[in-house]
Structure 1
């Protein structure tokens, strides 16, 4: 019996040690790993095409946003009958973003038809697709995305035979893939064979707050410090030689040290990406819904936007909730609604019972995920059980293009229900 326990212990230990993703720091992984394809056998070129479609306008599109009138999506089709996977992009990303294209290449190489879908927080989705133009309410967001998929479905089927439908997403797209699956469990338009969630947020409000705070703390609550740091980093990079993605994966800590880029600067960079999306969301939702926080009159088609973005002034996701989302819901639904009330709309717990019993859903995340709290991670464990796979490290989406992660994802999608 002792020998059996020893064997099991050693076997489990070997399994734990077997994961060898090279970027073990969560911030380095998030910055460099999330945009690096570390796998073999993935086609470099696939027949990816861009398409547009129209949805019924719920209100007049402002003149300066008419270029976003058509909803954009990307498609790559096999030349024979095959399963199809919809790929939902991360926070603010478009259907043509690098990360979404990587997933399209991965799944296309594995024999799938692929369709890239922009984040509901992307400018194009906000203007051309979103019904209320107030993203963050998971059910409303899911309904918007579901309408897009419903319209794309016959378009694809007119071109090629589809064996079955699947959906996956990363980051916010991972969260939304679960919500879209929930809606489809009622509507039965797709009957998704598989749903795969990569590094999803559990509560959008909480995750946004973590990222807001990350950026604010990194610049010591003074945006001027950001511009000073950026200038220092660009100067360091201009003197660097031979610094490539491959070099980063081999010895990232040394290279960052040579460039004098600290962990705090990495946090600033991560926070900045999300803050730029927060600025877009603040301005577009405010202007589209005539909330008049940042613009109190009609903007001309070719007007200089500088003065408006000066008024936005690095607005946070917290600002969006307090200045736009809460007043919007108070006016239309309940004048007593609070920030806490609105935040509940952004929590996966609203479809808790469905998630616990949906056997076609599988989830991957990382133990050092920077957009999850300990409570969020515990929720994922409790809700998904053995349908959840937690990697020991990888930050936020930092390891999703690593060979082992890709193999696990493709195997999970192939197994089905």
Structure 2
């Protein structure tokens, strides 16, 4: 955990020129990359409850799932459940790519909604190892249709476990980043299955096209001096910068205020910052690839039929996985899998299916949807943002800056999220 915190802090050594005040919107970090890494300064996050009625859910989503010895610790899909003592609406929250059910941003959303009187159940991303191991039917994440069906199954299991303990007035749904796109597909599936009849669905900073957005993130690695092949050297350089600053700064804790302080020192260039985001994505992708490969026994990273034990070193596998790009995963692992399942499937058709465009008519006609996005979110092109703005119309809230999720915990954003679910106007069964 300490190394993880050091890495996050290392990401925070960013240039000062991106800070600016905005008369109409108070989130202070104007730079897209910088906002993404720093997030929201602590003094701009609203006061949220410290004590709540919560418990962890451990779901047996796939009862006959066999788990390799290396994943001995995984006892089931983990979800966090926050509940009111009185009848209340329930909101399912889907984490962003690679995030757990207790990701910091997800917990902030949970606290804000709980404070406003909602029941909340948080779910990990289908690209998180726990979900791949315990809840993914294919064990190969990335397909919006399949992942959303897995999420729906997990939601049903979660609801079955808690329905005897709470009273629910309506069901609602939200997700951020990849989880936002998945929320849209989950809602569409619910139109057919009608288990929840979601009253409202909020999408926060979704990609329009998964392939396009991930491609843009991968391209950031090229901003590292020397390109992606120099990522190890680059990380060591950044870690040294952080270590020197920490040594002379006499700080005792790595928290939001600390990150914001070193952010203002301006030790990283804008290009280096983009490279760090790309490097972070690559590390998260490595975890996805490893978990999927072991669960499917595909032989992509770990030799086929090699049984890994809890005492085995995983360092070499991690090293190999971090050098696999998203293009490698898509072309060598993901696409071949779906091509076998869907004879005649072209690469282009698969890419298009992993896009909100594939359910455009549903999204444009359903009044239950809302969108929160940022003008300078680097996972979207200008044309893609314009498309989303036109698709959602008055149902969209576009902020002038905030990068990708950087302003999610900002007080105004959280207030808008809560207000979205509290507002009247869409009934249980309205499409």
| TM-score of the aligned structures, taking structure 2 as reference length | 0.86
Partner residue, 2:192: 186
Match of 1:236 among 244, 250, 264: 244
Task: Please list, as runs of the form range in 1=range in 2, the aligned pairs for 1:196-275 lying within 5 A after superposition.
Answer: 196-219=202-225, 220-221=227-228, 222-238=230-246, 239-241=248-250, 245-246=256-257, 255-257=264-266, 260-275=267-282
Give the distance between the partners of 2:345 and 2:42, measured in 1 at CA. Answer: 43
Residue aligning to 1:361? 369
- 1:94 Cα offset (Å): 0.3
Return 145-154 or 59-68, whichever deviates more. 59-68
CA contact (8 A) 2:41 2:257 kept: no
Partner residue of 1:93?
A: 99
Secondary structure of residue in 2 paired with 1:351:
helix
Indicate whether 1:320 and 2:329 are aligned: yes
Instruction: Name the SS for the 1:301 alignment partner.
Output: coil
Which segment is superposed worse, 18-27 or 390-399?
A: 18-27
* Structure 2 residues without counterparts, runs of 5 or longer: 1-21, 427-431
Aligned equivalent of 1:175:
181
Q: Is the deviation greater in 26-35 or in 56-65?
A: 56-65
- CA distance in 1: counterparts of 2:262 and 2:194, whole angstroms: 47
Q: 2:128 aligns with which of 122, 133, 141?
A: 122
- 1:68 aligned counterpart, secondary structure: coil
Aligned residue number for residue 294 of structure 1: 301
State the 1:95 CA deviation.
0.3
User: Helix, strand or coil for the counterpart of 2:173?
Assistant: strand
CA distance in 2, matches of 1:244, 1:161: 37
| Distance apart, 1:338 and its partner CA | 4.1
Structure 1 position 398, deviation (Å): 0.7
Q: 1:48 aligns with which of 41, 50, 54?
A: 54
**In 2, distance between residues paired with 1:157 and 1:372?**
39
Number of the residue aligned with 1:60: 66
**Residues 252, 233 of structure 1: CA spacing in aligned structure 2 closer, same or farther, 3 A cutoff?**
closer
C-alpha RMSD of the superposition: 2.1
Give the drift of 1:299.
2.4
- Please name the residue that 2:386 is paired with: 378
Paired residues of 1:321 and 1:339 also in contact (CA < 8 A): no
Judged with a 3 Å threshold, the aligned counterparts in structure 2 of structure 1 residues 283 and 18 are, in CA distance, closer, same or farther, namely same
Query: Could you tell me how far apart the structure 2 residues matched to 1:43 and 1:311 are?
Result: 42
Q: Secondary structure at the match of 2:53?
A: coil
Partner residue of 1:82 out of 59, 84, 88? 88
Aligned to 2:7: none
Indicate if the aligned counterparts of 1:136 and 1:345 stay in contact, CA closer than 8 A: no
CA distance in 1, matches of 2:53, 2:272: 38
Cα separation, partners in 2 of 1:147 and 1:377, compared to 1, 3 Å: same
Which SS does the other structure have where 1:256 is aligned?
coil
The count of aligned residue pairs is 397
Cα distance in 2 for partners of 1:358, 1:86 equals 19
Please tell me whether the aligned partners of residues 41 and 256 of structure 2 are also in contact (alpha carbons under 8 angstroms): no
CA distance in structure 1 between the aligned counterparts of 2:243 and 2:58, rounded to whole angstroms: 41
Aligned equivalents of 1:29 and 1:111: distance in 2?
Answer: 30
> For the residues of structure 2 that align with 1:58 and 1:333, how far apart are their CA atoms?
25
Equivalent-residue separation in structure 1 for 2:63 and 2:163 (angstroms)? 25
| Unmatched tracts of structure 1, length 5 or more | 1-15
Residue deviations 1:31-65 (CA, integer Å, cap 9, x gap): 11158573334212323321201123575322212
User: 305, 310, 323: which is aligned to 2:319?
Assistant: 310
Contact 1:285 1:324 in 2 (8 A): no
State the TM-score, normalizing by the size of structure 1: 0.89
CA deviation profile, 1:349-378 (whole Å, cap 9, x unmatched): 121111001101000100000111122212
